[in-house]
Amino acid sequence: MTVQTGTDTAKTRRTLTVGDQTLAYYSIEAASEAGLGDFSKLPAALKVVLENMLRFEDGGHTVSVEDIAAFAVWAEAGGRHPIEIAYRPARVLMQDFTGVPAVVDLAAMRDGIKALGGDAQKINPLNPVDLVIDHSVMIDEFGNPRAFQMNVDREYERNMERYQFLKWGQTAFDNFRVVPPGTGICHQVNLEYLAQTVWTDTDQNGDLVAYPDTLVGTDSHTTMVNGAAVLGWGVGGIEAEAAMLGQPISMLIPEVVGFELTGQMVEGTTGTDLVLKVVEMLRAKGVVGKFVEFYGAGLDTLPLADRATIANMAPEYGATCGFFPIDGETLRYLRQTGRDEDRIALVEAYAKANGLWRGDDYAPIYTDTLHLDMGTIVPAISGPKRPQDYIALTDAARAFGAYVDGIRSGEDASPKAEIRWEGEGGAPEPSDIPGDTGNHKRGFVSGGEADRAQLHDGSIVIASITSCTNTSNPYVMIGAGLVARKARALGLNRKPWVKTSLAPGSQVVSHYLEAAGLQEDLDAIGFNLVGYGCTTCIGNSGPLGAEISKCINDNDLIATSVLSGNRNFEGRISPDVRANYLASPPLVVAYALVGDMNVDIASQPLGQDREGRDVYLRDIWPSAQEVAELVEQTVTRAAFQEKYADVFKGDDKWQGVEVPAQETYDWPAASTYVQNPPYFQGMDPKPGAIEDIRGARVLAVLGDMVTTDHISPAGSFKESTPAGRYLVERQVPVREFNSYGSRRGNHEVMMRGTFANIRIKNQMLDGVEGGYTKGPDGAQTSIFDAAMAWQDKGVPLVVFGGEQYGAGSSRDWAAKGTALLGVKAVIAESFERIHRSNLVGMGVIPFEFTGGDSRSSLGLTGDEVVTIEGLGDVRPLQEVEAKITMADGTDRVVTLKCRIDTEVEIDYIKNGGVLHYVLRNLAAA
């Protein structure tokens, strides 16, 4: 990055000597002394943004003195002053599901700029970009020592085209590095290795400058690194690409909600229990579009691993980020994870010099505050379909029963269906199946006679230790290993219908589990290593056994999963599983032992030991001291240094991936993974005007909390779907379909997968689940086929939604697919931050209902015609009128707020999207 200076803030530049090194930095204190305002009481998170303004002030082109002074106004106004600013993060983080389409876009932009007469080399990241391949490994094999290698082999078989493309990108683009498959999850690699807390670079004069480490990432859980005082959040791939290419991120100075933590965690609770309570509280508070900063005496006893767990789930509580200021624990973690001692000294010196240190006197101004005494935290889970649906463990079985009753609406709440189990191994101890009168073995073949067991509503068919949220935390991972050890010693084992898996976030986790001897115990009850990646948390749980899947679907059972992840949205984890619960890794192990959500594991036996005595959760739960001692012994600085020594090298398979060295990509015509997208083909050198929306038809009417998983699912799909038919027509066998997420480099697949979640409910149709709507003839058809039919007629489309439209993952394909289907506007009651931005970035205008109007109050059926005029000169956040012609021919006029939030977003819409805007500017330059 080029560090810029401006005449008005040149005097804010000071020097800092650390050891034998002298560095320049931009001083917030000096800005106050220069008369720009009093910044002393700003929260640390906002001081990071202010420093960015000081460093890039250039006399008004992107950052002005007035922008800097606005931060003092923010403090004077009690934490509110939402003016537009231009923010430039230091770097960009990507994962392969979002990274492949981003690199596809960059490759397409090189073709596009050449077509406009420009230089292809102008399409190059100006800021460092790291892409970690972590989203592609799928759990095909599990519960045995071969699982890891077989899943890796299968991963390369499925994804070789994608990996060749990414490796080409690594050679073709500057400032672009790829962390190979099998290394870890991007957020954990970022936290443990890439992040520096304080970044350094040379400016145009060759001087070394220190400044806060900041980033944006193409995954919503980029926020995890805020636990280490690195300001970062998730953006869509299109916004990240613009940032890579030097485009500042347009944002409003955010409100900052202070979350005070006091007390300390009590025996028997985990960081997961804490974060689930935090998610519930902040969702209830309402923090969408806001920063959350954690402060208070409770931080003095809160390990950075727990802080990262809380920061990770910022998307689940709706905030832009959940920030923890720099303090002694930050330094301890940097040292433990192998950072250079000079860097650690710089972090401390810089934080204290520039007002970013959390000391005993830390007391900033916040927009609003919440308080939580950590001594009140109890064991908990969350589900069955939203992360904020917090349930104390003591209420879990009762809550599940109520959920089933609600679905069954008076039917038998626990239908059962027999399933014949066949497997290898000796006959296990008998175990009672809850809700059944018979005494059944676990279903293995013994002596030639097949045992029988029953699946029913609540049978846990997936128990997975997965995701960045918890597998980065040694306290809960060691805790899970100790639960497994104690259960094994008593003779308990997982139920055979439970698909168990362990997917650590980095190789360091395997190192300390093996060093503690705990991996052997986890293996013994089925939690074998299946891969290093996101796996179950993003829907890569792999297929269930054919008999299990058939039994669930033939009998319409409410099968369940328990995972240590951050997302449990409908249809995300497995197409066979309806109810999904988030839990700590130790609780995931415990639930695998009982195999049933109907069991109250807080008070009922988990099973019997070898002597037939009841075993309770308390009998196998480790003490905090046991966990802490093993963490101290096995989680070492040397382990981090060893495992990250060759992080970009990869295994033999990665090193064997061969790619041509060429400036532009030679798009393979027959590829079903990577295709040249249509965005920049035939593009006019000049932007157009924002066009009115006239005579638009309705593609979908959707409810509240429609997530980006609903809009653009990541998991598997069937051959009967539009995407499946597309692949079958190209001779791709069903076994090779892979997932939507892995095929994000092919717009043809992703268009067909838009609004195709198996659980999405289009209210235009009565009681129908899945990606269906009404076509031009009024008959039910797939959303893709209807959209193409309307496009053939030249008719624009709109989508209606409810509250929190676009919650969840930062996937840009939720916006890209929407745009490619011909949708010109999305009209909702409220939008989640990232998806609103992504829609604008793809040229789709978001509108919000005002004055109490909603899709429900208007009685929308989807048969309406929508016209919105006066958009040619629309301004940010302007209210406009929309005429809705009802099915009976009458007109309703409603007022909508245009959610084009900033002036630069006006330019994006005029250009047809942010990448078109950047491409035209680069070509013109």
pLDDT of residue 84: 87
Q: Note whether 386 and 274 are same-domain residues.
A: no
Q: How many structural domains are present in the chain?
A: 4
pLDDT of residue 925: 81
Q: Note whether 356 and 422 are same-domain residues.
A: no
Q: Note whether 564 and 628 are same-domain residues.
A: yes
| 416 has pLDDT over 50 | no
**Please, is 904 exposed, middle or buried when counting C-beta atoms within 10 Å of its C-beta (0-12, 13-18, 19+)?**
buried
In whole angstroms, give the CA distance from residue 51 to residue 452.
66
Q: Note whether 356 and 436 are same-domain residues.
A: no
| 415 has pLDDT over 50 | no
3-state secondary structure 835-853: HHHHHHHCCCEEEEECCCC
Assess if residue 98 is contained within a domain: yes
Identify the weakest region by mean pLDDT among 299-303, 581-585, 634-638, 811-815.
811-815
For range 630-644, the mean pLDDT: 96
Q: Note whether 64 and 103 are same-domain residues.
A: no
Mean residue pLDDT across the chain: 91
Assess if residue 633 is contained within a domain: yes
The answer to whether 83 and 252 have CB atoms below 8 angstroms apart is yes
Q: Note whether 724 and 873 are same-domain residues.
A: yes
pLDDT of residue 440: 29
Residue 294's SS3 state is strand
Assess if residue 347 is contained within a domain: yes
Residue at which a domain ends, from 349, 376, 403: 376
* CB crowding 589-604: b at 16 or more within 10 Å, else e: bbbbbbbbbbbbbbee
Q: Note whether 453 and 582 are same-domain residues.
A: yes
For range 203-217, the mean pLDDT: 94
For residue range 58-70, list pLDDT tens digits in order. Answer: 655 578 899 999 9
For range 662-666, the mean pLDDT: 93
Q: Note whether 269 and 347 are same-domain residues.
A: yes
Helix, strand and coil content of the chain, in percent to the nearest 5, comes to: 35, 20, 45
For range 641-658, the mean pLDDT: 94
| 436 has pLDDT over 80 | no
What is the CATH number for 423?
3.30.499.10
For residue range 140-169, list pLDDT tens digits in order. Answer: 999 999 999 999 999 999 899 999 999 999
Q: Give the residues across from 464 on adjacent strands.
A: 501, 563
For residue range 476-512, list pLDDT tens digits in order. Answer: 999 999 999 999 999 999 999 999 999 999 999 999 9
| 602 has pLDDT over 50 | yes
Q: Which residue has the tokens 């293996």?
A: 523
More confident residue, 4 or 364: 364
Q: Note whether 871 and 772 are same-domain residues.
A: yes
For range 398-402, the mean pLDDT: 96
Q: Note whether 223 and 241 are same-domain residues.
A: yes
Assess if residue 769 is contained within a domain: yes
Contacts for 753 with CB less than 8 Å, ≥ 6 apart: 712, 713, 717, 721, 722, 723, 740, 813, 817
| 621 has pLDDT over 90 | yes
Residue at which a domain ends, from 87, 122, 148: 87
The confidence band for 449, taking pLDDT boundaries of 50, 70 and 90, is very low
Q: How far is CA 316 from the centre of its chain?
A: 9
Assess if residue 167 is contained within a domain: yes
pLDDT of residue 638: 97
DSSP string for residues in 486-549: HHHHHT----TT-EEEE--SBHHHHHHHHHTTHHHHHHHTT--B--SS-GGGGT---PPPHHHH
Q: Note whether 104 and 66 are same-domain residues.
A: no
The answer to whether 491 and 593 have CB atoms below 8 angstroms apart is no
pLDDT of residue 355: 97
Q: Which among 203, 205, 184, 187 has a CA at the least distance from the CA of 195?
A: 187
For range 283-297, the mean pLDDT: 96
pLDDT of residue 9: 56
Assess if residue 646 is contained within a domain: no
For range 782-800, the mean pLDDT: 98
Phi-psi group of 777: left, alpha or beta (phi > 0 → left; psi -120 to 50 → alpha; rest → beta):
alpha
pLDDT of residue 136: 87
| 331 has pLDDT over 90 | yes
| 863 has pLDDT over 90 | yes
Residue at which a domain ends, from 53, 69, 87: 87
Q: How far is CA 700 from the centre of its chain?
A: 25
Assess if residue 682 is contained within a domain: no
Q: Note whether 388 and 269 are same-domain residues.
A: no
In whole angstroms, give the CA distance from residue 698 to residue 34.
56
- Domain range enclosing 430: 380-639
pLDDT of residue 453: 67
Assess if residue 291 is contained within a domain: yes
pLDDT of residue 205: 85
Which among 534-538, 779-783, 916-920 has the top mean pLDDT? Answer: 779-783
